[in-house]
């Protein structure tokens, strides 16, 4: 038994992990709920904004998607700057600026201004998700990370649940000071992000080394465990970090994530419009309440799959199963779009598949990338993958026709199937370039 493991009895090891989770995950969870809510609230806003500003389906698809172009451009620089300034300051900066941009979006008067603000939202938010993924690798061992990632990623469907419960109600009932409900939707989702950003600046520790609430013996044990798994934490130069851009494993993961994001964003950002097509008689409030169902199912799926991922030797099979479920669910929506009950079952299956893959995927990704490449590697995977957030909505919008938006759902269906093909070609971590195992194997030679 190694000394770092023997330094704490098993009960205290578990207590340390629980303590860290309770101190960090609630704040991170709330932050990510707000991040995703401010990213996707445009889906509900379009129900009123489209009429007031004259935005058709194809133009809306571009407006929803342009966010991800900025996200792609600025995500790697953002993660490098987080390494320089520390998680506390940089994450707080991200939250305050994206909240401010969201509030301003509530006052747009034309389509070009909306496009500019959606792009600026991508600039502001870039780096939050990969920054938090990298941040969690500094606090949780590989075996504990799947569950931590599951609770963090649970924020995605939760944001849709909150948006569904509140979005339709705001659209139907918030008309204060002469502003339409869709404008208040942006304002009321932007202000909380600013407030939580300020709280983050006060409460979020940069790393275990700066956490005053973590007992020294527990901190030393944790750092020793992380060093044993990932190699000692050192200040890698920019060139060493940017080598992740050429890491074939990073690029393979990015290609997988590109396909799954094309699939999930391709239907989630159109979900209110899909439900309206399924039953045109629904009010905005009814659409919002029905939109909650797929994401309640997704939330349950995330927690179940995160637990399964903890013990899985081949996490890619869990990701494959989820991608397959998403493809089947969306196919049901297309085929049975005239039957509201059956189509909703399809949307629920698509919701599970479109989100439940995330804990095993990110556990698979963070286990297979060395610490030297982690900050940039995670950002590269996420930034390239999130181009699917552009491709999915844009192509679905272009594919929509007179029969409705469901005509464009063949795009996310095909993307999920391509993801399965790429996953079948994935090799588990071993002595491969850029993996943790390869990095650790090289250390004795480098220090001899």
The residue with greater pLDDT, 20 or 428, is: 20
For residue 32, give its domain range.
Answer: 12-230+241-441
Task: Name the nearest CA neighbour of 317 among 353, 359, 360.
Answer: 360
CATH number of the domain to which 22 belongs: 1.20.1250.20
In three-state secondary structure terms, 429 is coil
Query: What's the token pair of residue 396?
Result: 């679905």
pLDDT of residue 265: 87
Residue 377 in domain = yes
Query: What's the token pair of residue 224?
Result: 């020793």
Res 404 pLDDT > 50: yes
pLDDT of residue 114: 93
pLDDT of residue 202: 92
The region of weakest confidence among 55-64, 154-163, 332-341, 363-372 is 363-372
Residue 446 in domain = no
Residue 266 in domain = yes
The residue with greater pLDDT, 28 or 241, is: 28
Residue 384 in domain = yes
- pLDDT level of residue 100 (50, 70, 90 thresholds): very high
The residue with greater pLDDT, 146 or 51, is: 51
Taking CA atoms, 231 is separated from 99, 220, 373, 389, in Å, by: 37, 15, 12, 34
The region of weakest confidence among 49-53, 365-369, 444-448 is 444-448
Q: Which residues pair with 401 in a beta bridge?
A: 404
pLDDT of residue 190: 93
Res 187 pLDDT > 90: yes
Domain count, the chain: 1
Q: Which residues pair with 404 in a beta bridge?
A: 401
Residue 215 in domain = yes
Q: What is the pTM of this model?
A: 0.73
Highest mean pLDDT among 143-152, 180-189, 264-273, 394-403: 180-189
Res 319 pLDDT > 70: yes
Element holding 423 (H helix, E strand)? helix 410-424
pLDDT of residue 231: 58
The backbone torsions φ and ψ at residue 404, rounded to the nearest 5 degrees and listed phi first, read 125, 175
- pLDDT level of residue 386 (50, 70, 90 thresholds): confident
Query: What mean pLDDT is reported for the chain?
Result: 84
Res 16 pLDDT > 90: yes
Residues 67, 62: Cα–Cα separation, whole Å: 9
The region of weakest confidence among 313-317, 335-339, 373-377 is 373-377
CA atoms lying within 13 Å on the CB side of residue 387? 14
DSSP alpha helices (H): ranges in 213-315?
216-230, 238-242, 248-268, 271-278, 284-311
Res 350 pLDDT > 80: yes
The radius of gyration computed from the CA coordinates of the chain, to the nearest angstrom, equals: 22
pLDDT of residue 217: 92
pLDDT of residue 189: 92
Helix/strand/coil (H, E, C) string of 313-356?
Answer: CCCHHHHHHHHHHHHHHHHHHHHCCCCHHHHHHHHHHHHHHHHH
Res 402 pLDDT > 80: no
pLDDT digits (tens, 9 = 90+) for 320-330: 999 999 999 99
Q: Are 35 and 200 in contact (CB under 8 A)?
A: no
Residue 295 in domain = yes
The residue with greater pLDDT, 242 or 111, is: 111
- pLDDT level of residue 445 (50, 70, 90 thresholds): very low
The residue to which tokens 């060093």 are assigned: 227
Residue 296 in domain = yes
pLDDT of residue 435: 42
The residue with greater pLDDT, 62 or 403, is: 62
Residue 400 in domain = yes
The region of weakest confidence among 18-27, 68-77, 235-244 is 235-244
The residue to which tokens 């061992």 are assigned: 141
């Amino acid at each position: 038994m190694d000394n770092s493991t023997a330094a704490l009895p098993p009960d205290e090891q578990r207590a340390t992990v629980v303590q860290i989770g309770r101190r960090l995950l609630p704040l991170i969870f709330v932050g990510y709920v707000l991040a995703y809510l401010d990213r996707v609230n445009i889906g509900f806003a379009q129900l009123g904004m489209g009429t007031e500003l004259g935005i058709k389906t194809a133009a809306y698809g571009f407006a929803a998607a342009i966010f991800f172009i900025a996200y792609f451009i600025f995500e790697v620089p953002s993660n490098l700057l987080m390494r320089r300034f520390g998680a506390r300051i940089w994450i707080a900066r991200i939250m305050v600026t994206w909240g401010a941009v969201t509030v301003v979006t509530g006052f747009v008067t034309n389509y070009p201004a909306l496009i500019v603000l959606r792009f600026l939202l991508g600039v502001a938010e870039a780096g939050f998700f990969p920054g938090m993924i990298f941040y969690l690798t500094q606090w949780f061992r590989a075996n504990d990370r799947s569950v931590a990632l599951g609770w963090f990623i649970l924020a995605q469907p939760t944001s849709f649940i909150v948006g569904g419960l509140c979005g339709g109600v705001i659209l139907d009932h918030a008309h204060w000071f002469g502003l339409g409900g869709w404008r208040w939707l942006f304002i009321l989702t932007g202000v909380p992000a600013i407030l939580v950003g300020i709280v983050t600046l006060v409460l979020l520790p940069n790393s275990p080394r700066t956490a005053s609430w973590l007992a020294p013996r527990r901190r030393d044990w944790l750092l020793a465990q992380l060093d044993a798994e990932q190699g000692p934490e050192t200040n890698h130069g920019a060139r060493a970090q940017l080598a992740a851009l050429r890491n074939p494993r990073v690029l393979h993961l990015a290609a997988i994530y590109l396909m799954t994001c094309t699939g999930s964003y391709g239907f989630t950002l159109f979900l209110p419009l899909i439900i309206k097509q399924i039953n045109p008689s629904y009010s905005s409030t009814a659409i919002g309440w029905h939109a909650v169902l797929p994401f309640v199912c997704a939330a349950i799926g995330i927690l179940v799959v995160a637990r399964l991922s903890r013990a899985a030797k081949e996490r890619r099979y869990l990701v494959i199963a989820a991608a397959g479920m998403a493809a089947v669910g969306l196919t049901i929506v297309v085929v049975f779009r005239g039957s509201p009950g059956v189509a909703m079952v399809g949307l629920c299956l698509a919701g599970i598949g479109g989100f439940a893959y995330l804990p095993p995927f990110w556990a698979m990704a963070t286990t297979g990338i060395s610490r030297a490449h982690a900050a940039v590697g995670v950002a590269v995977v996420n930034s390239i993958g999130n181009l699917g957030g552009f491709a999915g909505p844009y192509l679905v919008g272009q594919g929509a026709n007179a029969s409705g938006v469901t005509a464009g759902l063949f795009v996310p269906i095909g993307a999920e199937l391509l993801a399965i093909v790429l996953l079948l070609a994935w090799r588990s971590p071993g002595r491969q370039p850029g993996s943790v195992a390869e990095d650790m194997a090289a250390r004795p030679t480098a220090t001899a």
